[in-house]
Amino acid sequence: MKVLLIGSGGREHALAWKIGQSPELEKLYCWPGNPGTGEIGENIKGDFKDPDKLASWARVQGIDLTIFGPEAPLVDGLADSFSRRGLIALGPGKEGARLEGSKSWAKEVMRRAGVPTGDYLVTESMRQVEEHLSGKDGPYVLKADGLAAGKGVLICEDRETALKEARSILEEKRFGAAGNKLVIEEFLQGKEASLLALCSGGDYLLFAPSRDHKRLKTGDEGPNTGGMGAYSPVLEIPYSKQKELGELIFLPILDYLKGRGIDYRGILYAGLMLTEQGPKVLEFNVRFGDPETQAILPRMESDLLPYLYSAARGEIRRESLQWKEDACLCVNLVSGGYPGSYEKGYPIKGLERLNPETIVFQGGTEIKDNQLVTSGGRVLGVTSLGKDLEKAREKAYAELEKIDFKDKYYRKDLGRL
């Protein structure tokens, strides 16, 4: 099978790593890819900003399956361009991708489908925001409706800050058109978990649950990031609870979409808060998680590629995915300054000193003058398996000490929260 993988981060390197092991793979192309995916497949160059050009390229190349990593091309309808050309692609069309592209739409779908989620209000008016917040105690949760590069969720302790932030979104257009609408959501408490499902034809298969660590600093403090690391499995969601969770969350959503004529083919990712009243959905993403994928795939025994291919063609394979008992932890090494501004181009040293079983997923890297250098915020994901989480932790943290680049930063408490 000839596969095209779209994206360039640690998640895509993890997907390339897993797909690269499949006996069904004939050739992997990545666009644009990164040095990590380039070791497994071929990174294709070329300006494919015009989505139709990429679909044409895939057609000419005889690509059997295209897999979408990031959300933006899906929200823009790139999967539809592929389908229109008769190409097989894993990732929802524009309509299905609204589950991530519009938080107000996701909330409405959850309400109509009866999926548990926090109470909320969608508004475009500051007057309504003021009315809604008065008489309510904080913290207050504000979400810009559209895609805001992972920065659109604000948790404000006091009302004054919440009003100021709401104004900056609705009136000052801090997130541009993504903030034309605001979702104000009930503040939920509990532990978080990410549950991903491979969906097609109204059916789904669950991936092993995982947990990412979004806050920048050790102790779960500092600003939210794209994710400082992740682990799997999650003790609060044992195997025995997973079927029930799938029926609570994925089945009703897929049924609802089907009723609207949407056959959702792709990954659906539910960000959950495990509250005292039960699990509630914080958000949906229409793609694999980053860095959850880096912690999930090393645990997978099954050959992922045929599952993805089958789902992209409209059918979920009957056999469940098989998982190793081992736990897996991925710790991201990030550029100092991330998620704000940071310098790039620092040489990355020490990878040759790692134990062979350690997996390093590359995210923000590039090759300059034959040297691997930093080129993004989340540079590397150092990933280890262990018989339990503590063992995986020991290994990953010992290994990441061997890697060096200027301003390297990482959280020291991953896997403990």
Please report, as residue ranges, which positions from 20 to 39 form the binding site for ligand AMP (by CB under 6 A).
Answer: none
State the minimum distance, in angstroms, from the CB of residue 270 to ligand AMP: 10
Candidate segments 2-10, 181-189, 324-332, 386-394, binder of ligand AMP by CB under 6 A: 181-189
Residue number with CB closer to ligand AMP (147 or 300): 147
**Residue 393 in contact with ligand AMP, rule: CB under 6 A:** no
Chain CA centroid to CA 406, Å = 27
**How would you classify the pairing of strands 211-212 and 229-232?**
antiparallel
Residue number with CB closer to ligand AMP (98 or 214): 214
Residue nearest to ligand AMP as judged by C-beta position: 283
Q: Which does 76 bind (CB under 5 to 8 A by kind): ligand AMP, ligand GLY, none?
A: none
**How would you classify the pairing of strands 27-32 and 2-7?**
parallel
Q: Considering only residues 67, 89, 282, 304, which one is a binding residue for ligand AMP as defined by CB under 6 A?
A: 282
Q: Which H or E run contains 360?
A: strand 359-362
Q: Which does 282 bind (CB under 5 to 8 A by kind): ligand AMP, ligand GLY, none?
A: ligand AMP
Q: Which does 289 bind (CB under 5 to 8 A by kind): ligand AMP, ligand GLY, none?
A: ligand GLY
State the minimum distance, in angstroms, from the CB of residue 310 to ligand AMP: 29
Cα 14 to Cα 69, 270, 304, 383: the distances in Å are 10, 20, 12, 10
The angle subtended at Cα 254 by Cα 251 and Cα 259, nearest 5°, is: 120
Q: Considering only residues 10, 271, 279, 289, which one is a binding residue for ligand AMP as defined by CB under 6 A?
A: 271
Please report, as residue ranges, which positions from 271 to 300 form the binding site for ligand GLY (by CB under 6 A).
Answer: 285, 289-290, 292
Query: Distance (Å, rounded) from C-alpha 15 to C-alpha 70?
Result: 12
Query: Distance (Å, rounded) from C-alpha 337 to C-alpha 379?
Result: 12
**Residue 192 in contact with ligand AMP, rule: CB under 6 A:** yes
Q: Considering only residues 113, 126, 153, 398, which one is a binding residue for ligand AMP as defined by CB under 6 A?
A: 153
Q: What is the DSSP string of 243-286?
A: HHHHHHHHHHHHHHHHHTT----EEEEEEEEEETTEEEEEEEES
214 three-state secondary structure: coil
Q: Which does 292 bind (CB under 5 to 8 A by kind): ligand GLY, ligand AMP, none?
A: ligand GLY
Please report, as residue ranges, which positions from 117 to 146 form the binding site for ligand AMP (by CB under 6 A).
Answer: 118, 141
Residue number with CB closer to ligand AMP (162 or 360): 162
Structure tokens given for 257? 């979409």
Query: Distance (Å, rounded) from C-alpha 120 to C-alpha 104?
Result: 9
**Residue 212 in contact with ligand GLY, rule: CB under 6 A:** yes
208 and 325 Cβ atoms separated by less than 8 Å: no
Q: Which residue has the tokens 């190409």?
A: 87
Contact residues: ligand GLY, CB under 6 A: 212, 227, 285, 289-290, 292
Contact residues: ligand AMP, CB under 6 A: 118, 141, 153, 155, 185-188, 192, 214, 224, 271, 282-283
